[in-house]
Amino acid sequence: MEQLARRAPEALEILYDRHSRAVYSLALRIAQQATSAEEIVQDVFLQLWRKAHHYQASRGPLEPWLLTLARNRSLDHMRLKREKQRRREDTLEEQPLACTAPNPEHIADREHRAARVRVLMRSLPERQRRAIELAYFDGMTHSEIARELKEPLGTVKSWIRTGLLRLREALEER
């Protein structure tokens, strides 16, 4: 522990090799999940690294102190988990689940608008349409589109803006 307090990484490695199995066993017994226990072990040894100077050999051996840290960390983990679960349940109670069938009018309207957009997209000049497709369907940035189409960035931005304005105007006419 003296070496660890002086920030000797090999000291942490030695202590981890000696005590991690006992810390893990205790954490697993409390948390009942291997992933949670692994996380707790990591937290305990990180805390040990950061606060090695808090350990006082005169108060007792290292392993019981480490197991106390593990127990406290495990209990904190379980309390936090229960609190998250309680909040989830409270939220569900406050907002009852609404079971509604899809509205056929909304579905028909959405399908009609989608067909209209497809027709309008085909009416745009090829390069303008391609730039919009790359931006909105392929998720490319304007710079990426400019490289893909081998066109200046300003031109690509202009095509996209003009095309979107034309689409919006045509959709609003309806």
The ranges assigned to domains in the chain are 2-94, 104-173
Query: Mean pLDDT throughout 90-114?
Result: 73
Fold of 104-173: Arc Repressor Mutant, subunit A (1.10.10)
Q: Which residue has the tokens 């569900």?
A: 92
Q: Do domains 2-94 and 104-173 have the same CATH topology?
A: no
Which H or E element spans position 112? helix 104-123
Residues across the chain: 174
pLDDT band at 115 (very low <50, low <70, confident <90, very high): confident
- Give me the chain's average pLDDT, please: 85
pLDDT of the residue at 93: 63
Q: Which two tokens stand for residue 19?
A: 């005590």
Query: Mean pLDDT throughout 26-44?
Result: 91
Query: Mean pLDDT throughout 92-99?
Result: 60
Nearest to 123 by CA among 156, 172, 163, 78: 163
CA 11 – CA 14 distance, rounded (Å): 5
Angle at 112 between CA 110 and CA 118, to 5 degrees: 100
pLDDT of the residue at 112: 84
State yes or no: pLDDT of 11 exceeds 80.
Answer: yes
Query: Mean pLDDT throughout 112-127?
Result: 88
Are the C-beta atoms of residues 49 and 66 closer than 8 Å to each other?
no
CA distances from 165 to 26, 144, 160, 161 (A): 63, 21, 9, 6
CA 76 – CA 54 distance, rounded (Å): 20
Q: Which two tokens stand for residue 115?
A: 């067909």
Query: Mean pLDDT throughout 116-145?
Result: 88
pLDDT of the residue at 95: 60
pLDDT band at 56 (very low <50, low <70, confident <90, very high): confident
Quick count: other Cβ atoms within 10 Å of Cβ 14?
Answer: 13
Q: Which two tokens stand for residue 127?
A: 């390069």
Quick count: other Cβ atoms within 10 Å of Cβ 106?
Answer: 9
Report which residue type is found at 126. Answer: E
Are the C-beta atoms of residues 125 and 118 closer than 8 Å to each other?
no
Domain 2-94 has CATH 1.10.1740.10: yes
